Amino acid sequence: MGRLFSPIALGPLEIGNRIVMAPMSRTRADENGVMGSLNAQYYAQRSGAGLIVSEASWISPSGRGLANSPGLTDENHVAGWKWVTDSVHEKGGKIFAQLWHCGRASSPHLAAGEAPVAPSAIAAYGRILTPEGFRNFPVPRALDTDEIRGIVAEFAHASKNAKDAGFDGVEIHAGGGFLIDQFLQTGSNVRRDKYGGLSANRCRFLFEVVESVAKVWGEDRIGVKLTPSNRDFGMIDADPQILFTTAVKGLDELGIAYVHMVEPLESDLKEGDVLKDNAQRFRPYFRGRMMAGGRFDAAKAEMILEKEGADLVSFGRLFISNPDLPERMRLDKPLAKPDPETFHGEGEKGYTDYPALEPHPYLRLVEEE
Ligand SMILES: Cc1cc2nc3c(=O)[nH]c(=O)nc-3n(C[C@H](O)[C@H](O)[C@H](O)COP(=O)(O)O)c2cc1C
């Protein structure tokens, strides 16, 4: 049996295997972003992962970009998430909360009734579902320099709520074309203050968020997700190699537990010229744990662990349809295919109704005795 199943230290935590459940928004919180018992059941079913990273939770109402996505801003959110973390812990699992602010990838009806905010007044590429139907993303309002401090504080506040909700740590979403990523990349950031210009300036917001969250959690319970190849929402940077090297070196100095580095997905590859082999590419600049994700299967995962291109591997879509994914990989059993029609939506269909493997008949006999 390969390295996927060997335990590893992650900051102060000992985790049982190298298999991480990637953060995935499933839009099954209530309309106020509060999680409940169905969500607790879904995450508990997947607690065989060495670590679960929760779906992204908004850190302020103005950072919401997806209906029925969870929040982490008030005590109702804390109570709902507590249900989830208790259920995962009861099954022996570990779970980090992913925190996001969607920035320009939103619209007023989601972002507290106001124009979405962003580093610069440049609209995201694409369309968003509004109460009037699908519309182009609106042109966002560029944040004042002074306002940025407020958003950094909101990240700290949400991470305090994550602690109260019983999470084991937090992952800061700095990819996917959302607010932090919008600051990082030249296609969405043309600021002339200390948050724009050179790559070090464009990374400043990310580093300030990490520092503020570290005051709550300690740096060794923080991960940061980066998606250097992502082209969703029209994300683009003039020199991604330099940008992401600066980002990873800075995160190394801050001493965080892990960087979650996503490889190009099918949609990125369609766009042509994108960075590839990102975990291995940026690994030399980071001394903490490197987590690779994006289009992995067990064989590819073993290969990257073997080459020491990463310490952990995240799996997204396969975890949707295989609640017991680590067990199936360990036994080399066939994997179920996920149905994209039910990735987002309501209720248990395509959420909690994917079955686990039947227990071996011998085990069933033992249980029945
Ligand atoms: C339904 C769905 C929702 C997702 N939501 C999030 C999210 O909330 N935060 C995030 O960082 N990534 C999100 N992702 C991206 C995944 O974390 C992951 O990086 C991606 O699916 C690639 O991994 P895979 O090929 O193993 O699925 C989502 C992906 C899917 C399929």
Q: What pLDDT is attached to residue 369?
A: 53
> Does the beta carbon of 223 sit less than 6 angstroms from any atom of ligand 1?
no
> Does the beta carbon of 317 sit less than 6 angstroms from any atom of ligand 1?
yes
- What is the dihedral sign for C-alpha 178, 183, 187, 193? positive
CA 363 to ligand 1 centroid distance, Å: 34
According to the 3-state scheme, what is the secondary structure of the chain? CCHHHCCEEECCEEECCCEEECCCCCCCCCCCCCCCHHHHHHHHHCCCCCEEEEEEEECCHHHCCCCCCCECCCHHHHHHHHHHHHHHHHCCCCEEEEEECCCCCCCCCCCCCCCCEECCCCCCCCEEEECCEEEECCCCEECCHHHHHHHHHHHHHHHHHHHHCCCCEEEEECCCCCHHHHHHCCCCCCCCCCCCCCHHHHCHHHHHHHHHHHHHHCHHHEEEEECCCCCHHHCCCCCHHHHHHHHHHHHHHHCCCEEEEECCCHHHHHCCCCCCCHHHHHHHHCCCEEEEECCCCHHHHHHHHHCCCCCEEEECHHHHHCCCHHHHHHHCCCCCCCCHHHCCCCCCCCCCCCCCCCCCHHHHHHHHC
Residue type, 254: L
Q: What pLDDT is attached to residue 131?
A: 85
CA 1 to ligand 1 centroid distance, Å: 27
Query: Does 334 fall in a domain?
Result: no
Interior angle at CA 272, CA 268 and CA 277, nearest 5: 65
> Does the beta carbon of 98 sit less than 6 angstroms from any atom of ligand 1?
yes
Count Cβ atoms within 10 A of the Cβ of residue 304 and give its class: 0-12 exposed, 13-18 middle, 19 or more buried: buried
Domain CATH number, residue 37: 3.20.20.70
CA distance 73 to 59: 6
Q: Whole domain around residue 57: which residue ranges?
A: 3-315
End-to-end CA separation in angstroms for the chain: 31
Which atom of ligand 1 is least distant from the CA of 343?
1
Residue in the block written with tokens 């990374």: 203
Query: Does 23 fall in a domain?
Result: yes
pLDDT in tens, 12-24: 999 999 999 999 9
Q: Over 70: is that where the pLDDT of 198 sits?
A: yes
Q: What pLDDT is attached to residue 367?
A: 53
CA 55 to ligand 1 centroid distance, Å: 8
Count Cβ atoms within 10 A of the Cβ of residue 307 and give its class: 0-12 exposed, 13-18 middle, 19 or more buried: exposed
Residue type, 190: V
Neighbours of 238 (CB within 10 A): 10
For a pocket test of ligand 1, which of 20, 24, 173 has the largest count of ligand atoms closer than 8 A to its C-beta? 24
Q: What pLDDT is attached to residue 239?
A: 97
138 in Cβ contact with 265 (< 8 Å)? no
CA 146 to ligand 1 centroid distance, Å: 32
Query: How many domains does the chain fold into?
Result: 1
CA distances for 267 relative to 136, 251, 339, angstroms:
19, 27, 17
CA distance 180 to 173: 7
> Does the beta carbon of 163 sit less than 6 angstroms from any atom of ligand 1?
no
Q: Over 90: is that where the pLDDT of 1 sits?
A: no
> Does the beta carbon of 293 sit less than 6 angstroms from any atom of ligand 1?
yes
Query: Does 331 fall in a domain?
Result: no
> Does the beta carbon of 264 sit less than 6 angstroms from any atom of ligand 1?
no
CA distance 123 to 269: 23
Query: Does 366 fall in a domain?
Result: no
> Does the beta carbon of 321 sit less than 6 angstroms from any atom of ligand 1?
no
Q: Binning pLDDT at 50, 70 and 90, where does residue 273 land? A: confident
Residue type, 76: N
CA 78 to ligand 1 centroid distance, Å: 23
Q: What is the mean pLDDT of residues 156-185?
A: 98
Residue type, 366: V
Radius of gyration over every alpha carbon of the chain, rounded to an integer in angstroms: 20
Q: What is the mean pLDDT of residues 20-41?
A: 98
127 in Cβ contact with 137 (< 8 Å)? yes
Q: What pLDDT is attached to residue 2?
A: 82
Closest CA to 201 of 119, 262, 139: 119
124 in Cβ contact with 136 (< 8 Å)? no
Q: Over 80: is that where the pLDDT of 364 sits?
A: no
Query: Does 253 fall in a domain?
Result: yes
Atom 3 in ligand 1: which residue has the minimum CA distance? 24
Atom 7 in ligand 1: which residue has the minimum CA distance? 24
Query: Does 27 fall in a domain?
Result: yes
Q: Over 90: is that where the pLDDT of 361 sits?
A: no
> Does the beta carbon of 173 sit less than 6 angstroms from any atom of ligand 1?
yes
Q: Over 60: is that where the pLDDT of 52 sits?
A: yes
Residue in the block written with tokens 């299967």: 297
Q: Over 80: is that where the pLDDT of 272 sits?
A: no
CA 263 to ligand 1 centroid distance, Å: 12
Atom 4 in ligand 1: which residue has the minimum CA distance? 24
Q: Over 70: is that where the pLDDT of 248 sits?
A: yes
> Does the beta carbon of 161 sit less than 6 angstroms from any atom of ligand 1?
no
Q: Over 70: is that where the pLDDT of 299 sits?
A: yes
> Does the beta carbon of 148 sit less than 6 angstroms from any atom of ligand 1?
no
Query: Does 71 fall in a domain?
Result: yes
Q: What pLDDT is attached to residue 260?
A: 98
CA 348 to ligand 1 centroid distance, Å: 19
